[in-house]
Structure 1
Amino acid sequence: MEAKTYPLQDILKPERRYIIPTFQRDYEWTLEGQWRLLFEDLASTSDRLLEVRNSGLEGVHLKTKEKSISPHFLGAIVCASLPFATGGVALRSVIDGQQRLTTLQLLIRGLLDALVEQGSDRAKAVRRMLRNPMDVVEADEEVYKLWPRRKDREFWPLVMSETLPDDPAGSDNHAYLQARAFFAEAAREYAKDEHGEVRADRLISLADTLSSLFMLVVIDLDDQDDAQVIFEVLNGRQTKLSAIDLVKNLLFLRAEVNEDDVEALYDEHWAQFDDPWWKQTVGRGHAARGHRDVLLSVWLTAALGEEANVSHLYRETRRYLDDGPSTQEVLQELSRYSVAYRTIYGELPIADARLAVAYRRIRSLDITTAIPVLTWLATLDDQTLPLPHHVRAVRAVESWALRRAYVGWQTRGYGAHLAKVLRSGKVAQAEGSNIANAVIQALGSGALAWPDDAQVRDAFQHRQFYGNVSQLRIRLLLGAIDEQLRSENSHEPAAVIEYDNLQIEHVLPQSWVSHWPLYSPEGPQLAQDKDDPVWLKHSQERDLALNRIGNLTLVTGTFNREASNKAWDVKRPEFAKQKTLVINHDVASSEVWDEQHMKERAGHLADVVIRIWPDAERLSVHGDWGSGT
C-alpha cells in the first residue's frame, strides 16, 4: 500500500482515469450536507491566498509567502490499479471516496463555468483536471478523468459538457446538475467586489487554491492490501464495509474489462442479493455478519478447501480470482450456493424433514462454522449425492456438533476442522467414492473428536447443565428428547410444539430446604443443621445434583408457578397436567423424587440422546437410523 498527500492538480492533471465501480450506491451528497461547506472551505483558503497576494510582496518573497499558506485537507480516497493498454490512459478503481471525488469534479466544473464566462486564462489549466487530452484517448469516454457508476455514465458527458441546454433531456433536476450550478454561482458571488463586479484576481485565486492548496490523501492498494480493513480504519471502525460489496465491484469491473454483458450478469446472478434478507445479520457479538458476507465466506471456503478468513474476505477472494475461474463462472457458483444457503436457513423448501430438523438445530446453536460444509452438500445433485446419503452426511455433522456441545467440549478450531471435512468430501466426489462416509470419517478424526456413548452418559450424570449451558441450548436439548420420545410412541398424537416458548423447570427446586428434607444413605431424615458436617455434605451434593440434566425439564404456560418450590406431593400433580410433553410422563409417574431418581432419569435421557445423535460407528455401519426427530 502506498499512501501520499497530493495537491488536487497532481491527482487530476496527469493522464489518468478514475473508475467508480459499476453498481455503487446513488450519489448522496447535498447542498446543506456537503456542497456549501466544501465551497466555504475553498473560499476561506482562497482568502488567505488573496491576503498574501495583496500584501505588496513581489518575486521570490511572494512565492515563499504563498508556500507558507496552510493547505486544506479534503480527506482520503482509496484506489486500486486496473489493467490498461500499454501506452493508454492509466486506470484506477475508486474503492472508497466516490462521493468526495465526484463532488470535487462537480466543483471544478462549476468553477470552470465562471472562469470561461470571464475569459480567464486559468480556464485551460482547470479544464485539464476534468479531461484527458484527445490525442491520448482511444474511446470517447476516456476523455473524462472520472467515469461514474454505470447507471450515471450516459448522463455524465452532459454534466461535464461546455454548455448545457436549457432543459437537458432526462435530467429531472439531477443532483449533478444542481451541484454544478451551485458551485458556478458560488464562484461568481465570491469573485464580486463591493460594486457587484466580478474581479479576475478573485476567480484566479479560487482556481489556484483549488488546484494547489486543496490536498487529498490517495491510498493506492496493491494485491497484498486488504481494502476491507483499510476502509474500516479510515472510517474509525464506525462504518462497516461489506466484503461482498467490494467483491461485487471487483467482479463487475472484471466483466467490463472483458466486455461481458454486465447488465445481464447482474440481473441473472446478482440482483437477488438486493433483497433485504441478505443484509440481515447472522451470528452474535463480534461474529455478527450479514447473510451476504456469510455466503461469500461459505463459497470461498468451499472453493479453497480451507477456512476463509472472515476479516480478510476481500483480499482472499481477490487472490483466488487472480488465478481462478472467469467472472461468469464465479457468479454462477455464487448463485448456486445462494440457493443452497437459503435452503439451510429455511428460506426455500427443504427436500426432507430430517434435513430441516438438522438445519434448525445447527442454526439455533449458532454453529456457523458448519454452514460451509452443509451448503456445499446442498449444492450437489441427487446423482452425485443421493438423498439418503445427503441426510446421513448432514445428520452426522449435527450429531458431531451437538454431542460436543452437550458434553461441554471446546469449539475452538471448528472452522478449520469442518473445512477439512468439506475437503474430504470433495476428494470423495472427485474419486467417485461415498461422500457421506468420507464426511463421517473426517468428522471423527483429528483433535476435535466425536464424543462416544460413554462420554455422553458421563456428561449427563455429572455435568452442571443449568448455569453452564445457555437456556436456549437446554430448551433445544429437552425439546429434541421430547420430539424423539413422541416419535417412538405410536400412541402419542402428532403435535407441533414451540419449545423456544417453554420454561425450564427444576423438578427438585433450587429453593428446596423448606419442603424437601434430606435423608442419610441409611434412610433416616437428617435434621436441618448447617453446622452438622453430614447435613452440609448432603446439602452440597443436592445443590450440584439439582442443576444436572436429570432434574431439568420443560413446562408450558399452564404450569402453576406457585407450586414450583412446594413439596413433591403438591408439585407432582402439576407435571401430570403437562400431558402434551412426553418428556414429563416419567416425572409425573414417580412416587418419589430424589437424587437417585435424578440419576436414573439422566441415564434414560442419555439413552434417548444417543438415539437422536448416533456416534460415527453407527452412522457408518447403518447408514440411516430411523426418524431421529
Structure 2
Amino acid sequence: MQVQKTTVESLFTHERRYVVPLFQRPYVWGREEQWEPLWDDICDIAERNFVAIKNENPDDVIHPHFMGAIVLQSRRVSGDHLPVLDVIDGQQRLTTLQLVLVVLRDLANAKGEAPTAKWATARTANGNALINTETEQYKVWPTQRDQAQFIEIYNAGSCAKLQAKFPAKIGRRKATRPLMVEAYLYFYQAMDEWLIEKGDAVLGCRALRLALQRHLEIVQIDLDETENPQEIFETLNARGVPLLASDLLRNFIFRRAKGASLPDALHKKYWARFEVPENPAQPEGLRFWEVEIRQGRLSRARLDLFVQHYLSMKLERDVRVGELFREYKTWIETRKPFSGVEEELQEFVRYADLFRALLRPDTNSPTDLFAARLHAIDVNSIYPLVIGLLGEPHLPSDERDGIFIDLESFLVRRLVCGRPTKNYTRLFLALLTDFRKGGVFKRAAFRNLLVAGKTESSDWPDDATFELSWNTVDAYKAIKPERVEMLLRAIEMKSRSSKSEPILLKGPLTIEHVMPQSWSAYWPLPAKTDGVDPLEAREEVIHDFGNLTLVTQGLNSTVSNGPAAQKLPELFKHSNLELNKYFVNRTTWTEKDIRDRGKALFELAKEIWPRP
C-alpha cells in the first residue's frame, strides 16, 4: 500500500481511467451533506485567488483544503487500452469532482474564458482513447446504473441544454431529476452566482480554476495486487454517506465474481432487479428496494430488511442489524453453502422475490391473503419463518397454505387475547428449526409444534379463551385500528364466501362505530336495571367488535353522531358490504344488540381462524 497527498490536477492530468466497479452503489451524494460543504471549500479558496489575481499579488499564501481519501487499485489492461484504476473507495468524491470540472468547462465556455474551458476539458476527457472512444474518453467511469446520466451531462455542453433534457416539470407535475443532474445544476448555479457577484467573469473563472487545480488536496491510497480491497472497502468511507449492509454484501459478492470473470453478466442477470425504479414511468425515482419501511421504532431500506430476514432464516437464529454483513461473510466463508457465486446469487434473489411478493399482495391466492393480513398485524419477526416456508422445496403448496392458515390463526388469536409479542423472534425461528429437523413437511407436523406452546409467550389460545376475549376486549382501543380493520375485512370476506368466490378487498374502508363514540346527544342511556349502572354498561361495549363495522366512505359527522333512526339506514346504504346487511330494517341499537352482534361475528371469526 502506498499513501500520498495529491491534487485534482495530479489526479486528472494523465491519460487514464478511474473505473467504479459495477457492484458498488450508485451516486448518492446530496446537497446539504456533501455538495454545499464542497462548494464552501471551493468558494473560500476561489475568493482568495480572485483577490490575489486582481491585486497581482502572487505571494499570497493560500492554504489547501483537504477533501478526504480515495482508494485505488491498478487493473491489468492489454494492448493499447488506457491504464485503468479501480476505485475501491471514494467514488462519490471522484464523480463529484468530475461534475464540478464539467460545470467549470461549460461555464467558462459561456463566459468566453477559453483557457479555463480548455483546462477543464483536458481534466475530464482522455484525448488519446485509441481503442474504445465511447467509454475510454471519460476519465471517471461511474457504476452501471449512473453511466447514462453521466454521459448526458458530459455531452450536453451547456446548462440550458441539460435543463431541456431534464426539465423541472413535465406538464404541471414536478419531474424527478437524476442526482448527478441535480449536482451539476447546483454547482452551475453556485458558480454562476459567484461570478456575477465578482463582476469579472474571466478573472473569476481563472480563480475557480486555480482553486481546483492547486488547492484541493486528497489522500490517495494505492493498493498493490496482493492486498485485499474488500477489507479496505469495508472500513473506509470518510466524509461520505454511511454504507448499508446490502452495499457491503453486494461488494463482497461481486468481488468474488470478478475472480471468475463474471461480474457484468451476473449483475445483469441477478442484481439489476434491485435497482429497478418503484415507478417505471419515473426511471430516476426511488427504487423499490431503497424505500424505507418501518420496523419497530426504526425505518430501514427494504433490501437491508430482507438481508436480515434472509440471513436469520438461513442461520436459524436472530441476526442483529449491526452484524449483518459480518455474519453473512462468516457464513459464506466458513460454511461454504454454495458451489459458487452464481448459485449464491440465485438463492439470494429467489428469496428476495418471495419477500417482495409478500410486501405487495395483489391476488386472491391464499399466500397473498395471508401476506395482506400479516402487513396489518405488523409482526416483522415472522418473516424469516414465512420466507423459509415459501422457499422450502419439499413443502407442497397445499400443505403450506394450511400452515399459513394456522399461523394466521395463531397470530390473530394471540392479538385479540392480548398475548405478549416480545419473544416472537426466538419463537418463530425455533418453529422453523424444529420443522426442518422433523423432516415431515406436512401441515399436521407444523400444527403439532404450534399446539405444543403452553406459556403466555407461546400458547395458541383455544376457542373458549378466544371467545371470552373477543366479547370483552375494547377492540378499537386495545387493538390498533388498522388491525381491527383487517379483522373486519376478513369477516366481510367470510360473509361473502358462501355466496361468491372470496376476494381480496381493495380500496380504502373506514371503521365506523355503530353507536357513536359521541353518543350523549342522541343516544340516551336506558333506565337502571338489576343494579347495573347504564353508563358503565355502555362504556363497556362502545368499542367492542359488536359495535364496529366498515363503510366504503366515511359518514359525515352529522350522520355519524346522529340518532339511531337516522344512522342505521345510512349504514344500510353501504349494503354492498355484507357486514352492513345486519342493519336492514333496524331503527334502534342497544347494548344488548351490540353483544348479540359481537357473538355472531365471533362465530365467523372462529371459522376464519380455527384451532384444533
Q: What TM-score bracket applies, with the shorter chain setting the length? A: 0.5 to 0.7
**C-alpha distance 424-580 of structure 1, shift in aligned 2 (>3 A):** same
**What is the Cα deviation at residue 156 of structure 1?**
6.8
**What is the Cα deviation at residue 265 of structure 1?**
0.9
Corresponding residue for residue 346 of structure 2: 332
**Corresponding letter in the other structure for 1:276:** P
- Once the two structures are superposed, the pairs formed by residues 23-172 of structure 1 within 5 Å of their partners are 23=23, 24-25=25-26, 70-74=63-67, 76-77=68-69, 92-94=88-90, 97-100=93-96, 158=137
Q: What is the alpha-carbon distance in structure 2 between the residues aligned to residue 565 and residue 556 of structure 1?
A: 17
**Corresponding letter in the other structure for 2:405:** R
Could you list the per-position Cα deviations for residues 549-585 of structure 1 after superposition, in whole angstroms to 9, with x for gaps in the alignment? 1221224459797554455455444555554333344
**Corresponding letter in the other structure for 2:276:** D
2:387 to 375, 384, 391: 375
Q: Is residue 265 from structure 1 mapped to residue 266 from structure 2 by the alignment? A: yes
Corresponding residue for residue 317 of structure 2: 306
Corresponding residue for residue 256 of structure 2: 254
Aligned 8 A contact 1:502 1:555 in 2: yes
Corresponding residue for residue 363 of structure 1: 375
Could you list the per-position Cα deviations for residues 454-479 of structure 1 after superposition, in whole angstroms to 9, with x for gaps in the alignment? 33223222221223433322221112
**C-alpha distance 306-442 of structure 1, shift in aligned 2 (>3 A):** farther
Q: What is the alpha-carbon distance in structure 2 between the residues aligned to residue 378 and residue 474 of structure 1?
A: 27
Corresponding residue for residue 578 of structure 2: 582
Q: Is residue 602 from structure 1 mapped to residue 595 from structure 2 by the alignment? A: no
What is the root-mean-square deviation of aligned Cα atoms in Å? 5.7
Give the TM-score, by structure 2 length: 0.64
**What is the Cα deviation at residue 280 of structure 1?**
6.2
Could you list the per-position Cα deviations for residues 418-456 of structure 1 after superposition, in whole angstroms to 9, with x for gaps in the alignment? 33333334334xx45547624761586473433333332
Aligned 8 A contact 1:226 1:312 in 2: no
**C-alpha distance 280-398 of structure 1, shift in aligned 2 (>3 A):** farther
Aligned 8 A contact 2:525 2:534 in 1: no
Could you list the per-position Cα deviations for residues 580-608 of structure 1 after superposition, in whole angstroms to 9, with x for gaps in the alignment? 33334455477864333323332332332
Corresponding residue for residue 188 of structure 2: none
Q: Is residue 441 from structure 1 mapped to residue 446 from structure 2 by the alignment? A: no
**What is the Cα deviation at residue 178 of structure 1?**
8.3
1:507 to 514, 527, 546: 514
2:436 to 426, 432, 436: 426
**C-alpha distance 172-362 of structure 1, shift in aligned 2 (>3 A):** closer
Report the 3-state secondary structure (helix = DSSP H, G, I; strand = E; otherwise coil) of the residue aligned with 2:476: coil
**C-alpha distance 405-520 of structure 1, shift in aligned 2 (>3 A):** same
Corresponding residue for residue 303 of structure 2: 292
- Once the two structures are superposed, the pairs formed by residues 488-527 of structure 1 within 5 Å of their partners are 490=498, 492-493=499-500, 498=505, 501-510=508-517, 511-512=519-520, 514-522=522-530
**C-alpha distance 226-55 of structure 1, shift in aligned 2 (>3 A):** closer
**C-alpha distance 334-154 of structure 1, shift in aligned 2 (>3 A):** farther
Could you list the per-position Cα deviations for residues 59-90 of structure 1 after superposition, in whole angstroms to 9, with x for gaps in the alignment? xxxxxx98xx744122x347699999xxxx99
Could you list the per-position Cα deviations for residues 159-206 of structure 1 after superposition, in whole angstroms to 9, with x for gaps in the alignment? 569xxxxxxxxx979839989xxxxxx9xxxxxxxxxxxxxxx99x97
Report the 3-state secondary structure (helix = DSSP H, G, I; strand = E; otherwise coil) of the residue aligned with 2:528: coil
Larger Rg: 1
**What is the Cα deviation at residue 545 of structure 1?**
1.7
Q: Is residue 397 from structure 1 mapped to residue 407 from structure 2 by the alignment? A: yes
**What is the Cα deviation at residue 395 of structure 1?**
1.9
**C-alpha distance 399-210 of structure 1, shift in aligned 2 (>3 A):** same
Give the TM-score, by structure 1 length: 0.62
**C-alpha distance 280-265 of structure 1, shift in aligned 2 (>3 A):** closer
Could you list the per-position Cα deviations for residues 210-245 of structure 1 after superposition, in whole angstroms to 9, with x for gaps in the alignment? 78x6444789998699769x67x854xxxx755434
**C-alpha distance 485-348 of structure 1, shift in aligned 2 (>3 A):** closer
Could you list the per-position Cα deviations for residues 316-364 of structure 1 after superposition, in whole angstroms to 9, with x for gaps in the alignment? 43443443443222211122113322333446878xx322211221123
Aligned 8 A contact 2:549 2:579 in 1: yes
Where does structure 2 lack aligned partners over 5 or more consecutive residues? 77-84, 104-114, 124-128, 141-149, 159-190, 192-205, 223-228, 279-287
**Corresponding letter in the other structure for 2:595:** K
Q: What is the alpha-carbon distance in structure 2 between the residues aligned to residue 443 and residue 320 of structure 1?
A: 33
Q: What is the alpha-carbon distance in structure 2 between the residues aligned to residue 402 and residue 79 of structure 1?
A: 53
**C-alpha distance 422-260 of structure 1, shift in aligned 2 (>3 A):** farther
**C-alpha distance 348-272 of structure 1, shift in aligned 2 (>3 A):** farther
Where does structure 1 lack aligned partners over 5 or more consecutive residues? 57-64, 108-113, 119-126, 128-140, 142-151, 162-170, 180-185, 187-201, 523-533, 619-629
1:543 to 539, 544, 547: 539
**C-alpha distance 73-223 of structure 1, shift in aligned 2 (>3 A):** closer
When the two structures are aligned, how many residues end up with a matched partner? 510
Corresponding residue for residue 169 of structure 2: none
Report the 3-state secondary structure (helix = DSSP H, G, I; strand = E; otherwise coil) of the residue aligned with 2:534: helix
**Corresponding letter in the other structure for 1:475:** E
2:154 to 168, 172, 175: 175
Q: What is the alpha-carbon distance in structure 2 between the residues aligned to residue 80 and residue 297 of structure 1?
A: 31
Report the 3-state secondary structure (helix = DSSP H, G, I; strand = E; otherwise coil) of the residue aligned with 1:263: helix
- Once the two structures are superposed, the pairs formed by residues 333-352 of structure 1 within 5 Å of their partners are 333-346=347-360
**Corresponding letter in the other structure for 2:387:** T
Aligned 8 A contact 2:509 2:550 in 1: yes
Aligned 8 A contact 2:513 2:549 in 1: yes
Q: What is the alpha-carbon distance in structure 1 between the residues aligned to residue 434 and residue 93 of structure 2?
A: 43
Q: What is the alpha-carbon distance in structure 2 between the residues aligned to residue 610 and residue 19 of structure 1?
A: 62
**What is the Cα deviation at residue 8 of structure 1?**
5.7
**Corresponding letter in the other structure for 1:417:** L
Q: Bigger CA drift: 555-564 or 272-281?
A: 555-564
Aligned-pair identity (%)? 22
Report the 3-state secondary structure (helix = DSSP H, G, I; strand = E; otherwise coil) of the residue aligned with 1:283: strand
Report the 3-state secondary structure (helix = DSSP H, G, I; strand = E; otherwise coil) of the residue aligned with 1:276: coil
Report the 3-state secondary structure (helix = DSSP H, G, I; strand = E; otherwise coil) of the residue aligned with 1:307: coil
Q: What is the alpha-carbon distance in structure 2 between the residues aligned to residue 459 and residue 71 of structure 1?
A: 71
Q: What is the alpha-carbon distance in structure 1 between the residues aligned to residue 607 and residue 399 of structure 2?
A: 18
**C-alpha distance 339-557 of structure 1, shift in aligned 2 (>3 A):** closer
**C-alpha distance 412-380 of structure 1, shift in aligned 2 (>3 A):** same
**What is the Cα deviation at residue 391 of structure 1?**
0.6
Could you list the per-position Cα deviations for residues 274-328 of structure 1 after superposition, in whole angstroms to 9, with x for gaps in the alignment? 3223246363485444443333333222222223434554444344344344322
Aligned 8 A contact 1:377 1:390 in 2: yes
Report the 3-state secondary structure (helix = DSSP H, G, I; strand = E; otherwise coil) of the residue aligned with 1:466: helix
**What is the Cα deviation at residue 612 of structure 1?**
1.0
